[in-house]
Amino acid sequence: MYETFHIQWHITDNCNLRCKHCYQNTFSSEKDLPLESLIYIFENISDFLKQENKKLVIDMTGGEPFLHKNFGELIEYILNSKFLEAIGIITNGFFLDDKFIYKIEKNMIKLKISSEGFEKNVYEFFRGRNFDRFLEICEKLKRVKTEKYIMFT
């Protein structure tokens, strides 16, 4: 029997939104680690998991994790780990295309969509714009066959 170890991994500061309450003060990919460094970090995590006989539950976040130039490759690498119990992506949903939705469904990746609510004036007060786009994302999510959540930030 094994226990799970939970990680929320902030892989980029880059984001397409500028939410009023966000703790970030930079919004670029300037400090993003290259894929090789991210894999090195993940291998260290894997060594720990092996040593402690644990499985990994990991949430990928940022900024907007889809904006990391190697996000797809990193997800593929993590999905191949024998220590992986579950993986989630915390995202604003703006970059969910059909290709990645297929990968999400195929691998049972949990989707966690951040929001400020379901009222246009509240959403746009905090996010500056895009409530109609958020509603489109919610409609698209109805057909995605995996666990999905709306996270009120």
Provide the CATH number for the domain around residue 105. 3.20.20.70
- In three-state secondary structure terms, 109 is coil
**How high is the pLDDT of residue 27?**
67
Mean pLDDT, rounded, for 50-72: 96
Residue 145: pLDDT above 80?
Answer: yes
Centre a 10 Å sphere on the Cβ of residue 144 and count the other Cβ atoms it contains: 15
Mean of per-residue pLDDT scores for the chain: 92
> Which residue range(s) make up the domain with 90?
3-152
User: With a threshold of 0.85, does the pTM exceed it?
Assistant: yes
Q: What is the mean pLDDT of residues 30-58?
A: 96
Number of domains in the chain: 1
Of 66, 62, 65, the closest CA to residue 24 belongs to 62
The DSSP line for 80-107 is: T-TTEEEEEEEE-STT--HHHHHHHHHT
pLDDT tens for each residue of 83-105: 999 999 999 999 998 899 999 99
